[in-house]
Amino acid sequence: MTPSPRPPRWPSMLLALSLLPIPAPSRAQGEDPIVPADPPARWWKGNLHTHSFWSDGNDFPEMIVDWYRRRDYHFLALSDHNVLSQGARWMDRDEVDRRSGGRAFERYLERFGEHWVETREIDGLSQVRLQPLVEYRALVEQAGRFLLIQGEEITDRFERKPIHMNASNLAERIPPQGGGSVVEVIDNNLKAVEEQAERLGIPILAHLNHPNFGYAITAEELAEAGREQFVEVYNGHPDVHHLGDEHHAPVERMWDIANTLRVAAMGVRPLMGLATDDSHQYFGTEGSSPGRGWIMVRARHLTPESIIDAIEAGDFYASSGVTLRDVRFDREAGVLDVEVEPEPGSSYSVAFVGTRAGVDPTAEPVTDADGKPLGVTGRYTDEIGRVLATVEGTNARYELAGDELYVRAVVTSSLPPDNPSFEGQRRQAWTQPVGWESRIDRPGEAD
């Protein structure tokens, strides 16, 4: 027998509510501590390079987002390869277990429960549904506390060279555009990002990923790709050759070379530097695990628009473990100030790095054992990206002499990161290059 439905309790509930005193409105009740009116600018922590089961990651997107949210990140972009987490997608349980070593599904089920986790049997195969962003963001987003930004890693190549670029806050997937050279591939994909942003009226941030991955991109090509304004100067994946090798320049050295060529020879604004995780593995610290690189963005509101506006204005810094209390550049006075938020047991060294005007911009080619030139970043004078001053401690100031093409600060801690990506790594923070503005006719964008 089917039990009779319980009679509705609404009348008695409404009566009970009608007997309760109704509090008078007050100013305190109208205030919202999470989304205040005209809040001051503050620092927001975020990662813009993350992978999940939607491409080549080894965990469910909700689990990945939950990891970052619980560790005091404020924003995150899941940037799977050439796909957006949209629409219906089912994944074989065997593939889930293969990628995660049998660890992902049970942990996912325990965390979110059987009423959220969807499974089915098709032709004898057990499958689990990959939830799209439009559904799982409701579980974790909180106004003024945590924001999800839709991302895509536009995964392209020139010949055998991988050219990967992230687009953050896009609404439609952008297929790889291709091109006849490394620079043309970069430029074509940036044009596609700009077209979507203009057509839909939304800000989309595009940045170039891990230039030393596959040793695909040289510093000269970074300079020539003048439409690009952002590059990863630290990527937490252990296979991106952050330090280079005997024939290839380290990524930070490439950053200085490219920016010197841009400002001195091309009249193009320098590249701003990001740090990211590029995380794929989420069980322990093996492989490209999370929590290695992030950006701190100074903005008033935790919205995609405010975050992207601040990044495009250069009001952010990159970090692999050092937190800055403040970084300020007084353009009129020509003074760059850096203040570190100290950690117990750590000492700090602040190096002001830059290039002075009049530097020799020519390079010697790098050759193999037979003297044949290699298609890699050339060898330039040490005057490019030299240390202009070093300050020990948590407060550092650099007064520009006026002949600098640009100046940036890199802060290095005596402590290693909690989860290092290479041997001998120390926690660092990188500020953006300043002092170049008067040398660029049109600092907003390249032709």
DSSP 70-84: HTT--EEEE--BT--
Query: Is 153 in contact with 164 (CB distance < 8 Å)?
Result: yes
DSSP 3-state assignment of 140?
Answer: helix
Distances (CA, A) of 86 to 105, 120, 205, 405: 21, 19, 20, 44
Give the closest residue to 344 by CA, choosing from 418, 425, 426, 413: 413
Half-sphere exposure at residue 9, Cβ-oriented, CA atoms within 13 angstroms: 4
Distances (CA, A) of 424 to 286, 340, 419: 17, 22, 12
**Homologous superfamily of domain range 48-89+130-439:** Metal-dependent hydrolases (3.20.20.140)
List the pLDDT tens digit at each of the 447 positions of the chain. Answer: 434 343 343 333 333 333 444 454 445 555 677 778 899 999 999 999 999 999 999 999 999 999 999 999 999 999 999 999 999 999 999 999 999 999 999 999 999 999 999 999 999 999 999 999 999 999 999 999 999 999 999 999 999 999 999 999 999 999 999 999 999 999 999 999 999 999 999 999 999 999 999 999 999 999 999 999 999 999 999 999 999 999 999 999 999 999 999 999 999 999 999 999 999 999 999 899 999 999 999 999 999 999 999 999 999 999 999 999 999 999 999 999 999 999 999 999 999 999 999 999 999 999 999 999 999 999 999 999 999 999 999 999 999 999 999 999 999 999 999 999 999 999 999 999 999 999 986 544 444
Report the alpha-carbon distance of residue 54 to residue 423 in Å, rounded.
31
| pLDDT at residue 15, rounded to an integer | 34
How is residue 263 annotated by DSSP? I
Query: Is 77 in contact with 336 (CB distance < 8 Å)?
Result: no
Query: Is 93 in contact with 127 (CB distance < 8 Å)?
Result: yes
Report the alpha-carbon distance of residue 305 to residue 172 in Å, rounded.
17
Distances (CA, A) of 307 to 24, 211, 311: 38, 24, 6
| pLDDT at residue 30, rounded to an integer | 59
| pLDDT at residue 9, rounded to an integer | 37
Q: What is the pTM of this model?
A: 0.91
Tokens of 397: 């100031």
Tokens of 111: 């965390």
DSSP 329-342: EETTTTEEEEEE--
Report the alpha-carbon distance of residue 217 to residue 406 in Å, rounded.
22
Report the alpha-carbon distance of residue 443 to residue 199 in Å, rounded.
23
Give the closest residue to 335 by CA, choosing from 398, 390, 395: 398
Tokens of 58: 């080894």
Contacts of 40 (CB under 8 A, 6+ apart): 300
Bridge partners (DSSP) listed for residue 297: 44, 316
Supply φ then ψ for residue 269, to 5 degrees. -60, 150
Query: Is 60 in contact with 108 (CB distance < 8 Å)?
Result: yes
Distances (CA, A) of 356 to 226, 270, 360, 388, 407: 21, 14, 10, 9, 9
Report the alpha-carbon distance of residue 101 to residue 423 in Å, rounded.
26
Tokens of 271: 């590249």
| pLDDT at residue 29, rounded to an integer | 54
Report the alpha-carbon distance of residue 363 to residue 261 in Å, rounded.
11
Residue-range domain boundaries for the chain: 48-89+130-439, 90-129
Tokens of 83: 């796909």
Going by their DSSP bridges, the two strands 75-78 and 147-158 should be labelled as: parallel
Region class of 256: left (phi > 0), else alpha (psi between -120 and 50), else beta = alpha
| pLDDT at residue 28, rounded to an integer | 53
Give, to the nearest 10 degrees, the angle between helix 61-70 and helix 104-112. Answer: 70
Token pair 């790709």 is at which residue? 225
